[in-house]
Amino acid sequence: MTRQVVTVAPHVSIRDVARLMSEIDSGVIPVVGNEVFGIVTDRDIVVRAVAENVDIAGPISKIMTSGIESCLESTELREAAHRMSELQMRRLLVFDDGGKITGILSLGDIAKLNEELAGVTLEDISDDESH
Protein backbone atom coordinates (compact mmCIF):
# COMPACT_ATOMS: atom_id res chain seq x y z
CA MET A 1 0.00 0.00 0.00
CA THR A 2 0.99 3.60 -0.35
CA ARG A 3 1.90 4.70 3.16
CA GLN A 4 2.52 8.42 2.80
CA VAL A 5 -1.05 9.61 2.54
CA VAL A 6 -1.67 13.29 1.99
CA THR A 7 -5.14 14.50 2.96
CA VAL A 8 -7.12 17.69 2.41
CA ALA A 9 -9.97 19.35 4.28
CA PRO A 10 -13.43 19.54 2.63
CA HIS A 11 -13.20 23.34 2.16
CA VAL A 12 -9.97 23.23 0.07
CA SER A 13 -10.61 24.37 -3.49
CA ILE A 14 -10.80 21.96 -6.39
CA ARG A 15 -7.97 23.92 -8.06
CA ASP A 16 -5.71 23.58 -5.00
CA VAL A 17 -6.38 19.84 -4.77
CA ALA A 18 -5.53 19.43 -8.46
CA ARG A 19 -2.28 21.34 -7.91
CA LEU A 20 -1.48 19.22 -4.86
CA MET A 21 -2.08 16.03 -6.84
CA SER A 22 0.39 17.28 -9.44
CA GLU A 23 2.99 18.21 -6.80
CA ILE A 24 2.84 14.87 -4.98
CA ASP A 25 2.28 12.84 -8.16
CA SER A 26 -0.87 11.15 -6.86
CA GLY A 27 -4.25 10.57 -8.45
CA VAL A 28 -6.13 10.16 -5.17
CA ILE A 29 -6.45 12.20 -1.98
CA PRO A 30 -8.68 11.49 1.03
CA VAL A 31 -10.88 14.37 2.21
CA VAL A 32 -10.58 14.55 5.99
CA GLY A 33 -11.70 16.81 8.82
CA ASN A 34 -12.70 15.44 12.20
CA GLU A 35 -13.55 12.30 10.26
CA VAL A 36 -13.01 10.93 6.75
CA PHE A 37 -15.58 12.69 4.58
CA GLY A 38 -14.65 11.22 1.23
CA ILE A 39 -12.00 10.74 -1.37
CA VAL A 40 -11.23 12.60 -4.55
CA THR A 41 -9.47 11.26 -7.62
CA ASP A 42 -8.05 12.98 -10.64
CA ARG A 43 -10.93 11.42 -12.57
CA ASP A 44 -13.44 13.09 -10.21
CA ILE A 45 -11.86 16.45 -11.02
CA VAL A 46 -12.13 15.85 -14.76
CA VAL A 47 -15.58 14.22 -14.87
CA ARG A 48 -17.36 16.04 -12.05
CA ALA A 49 -15.72 19.46 -12.21
CA VAL A 50 -14.16 20.23 -15.58
CA ALA A 51 -16.68 18.38 -17.77
CA GLU A 52 -19.63 19.80 -15.78
CA ASN A 53 -18.13 23.32 -15.70
CA VAL A 54 -18.06 23.44 -11.89
CA ASP A 55 -16.21 26.44 -10.47
CA ILE A 56 -12.76 25.07 -9.61
CA ALA A 57 -12.41 27.77 -6.94
CA GLY A 58 -15.22 25.97 -5.09
CA PRO A 59 -14.68 23.39 -2.35
CA ILE A 60 -13.53 19.85 -3.11
CA SER A 61 -16.51 18.59 -1.09
CA LYS A 62 -18.71 19.47 -4.11
CA ILE A 63 -17.15 16.75 -6.25
CA MET A 64 -15.63 14.24 -3.83
CA THR A 65 -16.82 10.66 -3.61
CA SER A 66 -18.39 9.94 -0.23
CA GLY A 67 -19.16 6.56 1.29
CA ILE A 68 -15.56 5.50 1.56
CA GLU A 69 -14.66 1.83 1.61
CA SER A 70 -11.73 0.65 3.65
CA CYS A 71 -9.90 -2.19 5.32
CA LEU A 72 -7.65 -2.58 8.33
CA GLU A 73 -3.89 -2.97 8.20
CA SER A 74 -4.38 -6.49 9.53
CA THR A 75 -6.64 -7.51 6.62
CA GLU A 76 -5.16 -10.31 4.49
CA LEU A 77 -4.27 -9.26 0.93
CA ARG A 78 -6.59 -11.86 -0.64
CA GLU A 79 -9.48 -10.63 1.54
CA ALA A 80 -8.82 -6.99 0.57
CA ALA A 81 -8.68 -7.93 -3.12
CA HIS A 82 -11.95 -9.85 -2.76
CA ARG A 83 -13.53 -6.80 -1.13
CA MET A 84 -12.34 -4.60 -3.98
CA SER A 85 -13.92 -7.02 -6.46
CA GLU A 86 -17.22 -7.10 -4.60
CA LEU A 87 -17.36 -3.31 -4.29
CA GLN A 88 -16.10 -2.63 -7.82
CA MET A 89 -13.34 -0.40 -6.45
CA ARG A 90 -9.73 -0.03 -7.44
CA ARG A 91 -8.63 1.46 -4.11
CA LEU A 92 -9.33 1.01 -0.40
CA LEU A 93 -8.32 3.32 2.42
CA VAL A 94 -6.32 1.44 5.05
CA PHE A 95 -6.82 2.19 8.75
CA ASP A 96 -5.02 1.08 11.88
CA ASP A 97 -6.95 -0.30 14.85
CA GLY A 98 -7.26 3.22 16.24
CA GLY A 99 -9.10 4.54 13.18
CA LYS A 100 -6.17 6.50 11.72
CA ILE A 101 -5.56 6.39 7.95
CA THR A 102 -2.25 4.62 7.42
CA GLY A 103 -2.35 4.06 3.68
CA ILE A 104 -4.19 3.47 0.45
CA LEU A 105 -4.27 0.00 -1.10
CA SER A 106 -4.60 0.05 -4.87
CA LEU A 107 -4.95 -2.61 -7.51
CA GLY A 108 -1.42 -1.68 -8.59
CA ASP A 109 -0.12 -2.42 -5.10
CA ILE A 110 -1.72 -5.86 -5.24
CA ALA A 111 -0.15 -6.47 -8.65
CA LYS A 112 3.32 -5.78 -7.25
CA LEU A 113 2.85 -8.54 -4.69
CA ASN A 114 0.63 -11.01 -6.48
CA GLU A 115 0.14 -10.56 -10.21
CA GLU A 116 -2.35 -13.43 -10.49
CA LEU A 117 -4.55 -12.09 -7.69
CA ALA A 118 -4.47 -8.60 -9.23
CA GLY A 119 -5.48 -10.03 -12.61
CA VAL A 120 -8.47 -11.85 -11.16
CA THR A 121 -9.51 -8.78 -9.17
CA LEU A 122 -9.25 -6.50 -12.21
CA GLU A 123 -11.16 -8.99 -14.32
CA ASP A 124 -13.96 -9.08 -11.72
CA ILE A 125 -14.07 -5.27 -11.56
CA SER A 126 -13.99 -4.89 -15.35
CA ASP A 127 -16.66 -7.54 -15.95
CA ASP A 128 -19.12 -5.85 -13.62
CA GLU A 129 -18.32 -2.35 -14.92
CA SER A 130 -19.22 -3.40 -18.48
CA HIS A 131 -22.76 -4.41 -17.53
Q: What is the CATH number of the domain that holds 21?
A: 3.10.580.10
pTM: 0.81
Q: What is the pLDDT of residue 131?
A: 43
Same domain for 56 and 36:
yes
Least confident of 12-16, 72-76, 119-123: 119-123
Q: Are residues 34 and 82 in the same domain?
A: no
88 with 41, same domain: the answer is no
Provide the pLDDT for residue 125. 67
What interhelical angle do 115-129 and 77-87 show, nearest 10?
10
> Which residues are 31's β-sheet partners?
8, 38
* Shared-domain flag, residues 112 and 59: no
**Which residue range is the domain that position 46 belongs to?**
1-68
Phi-psi sector, 49: left (phi>0), alpha (psi -120 to 50), beta: alpha
12 versus 107: which is more confidently predicted? 12
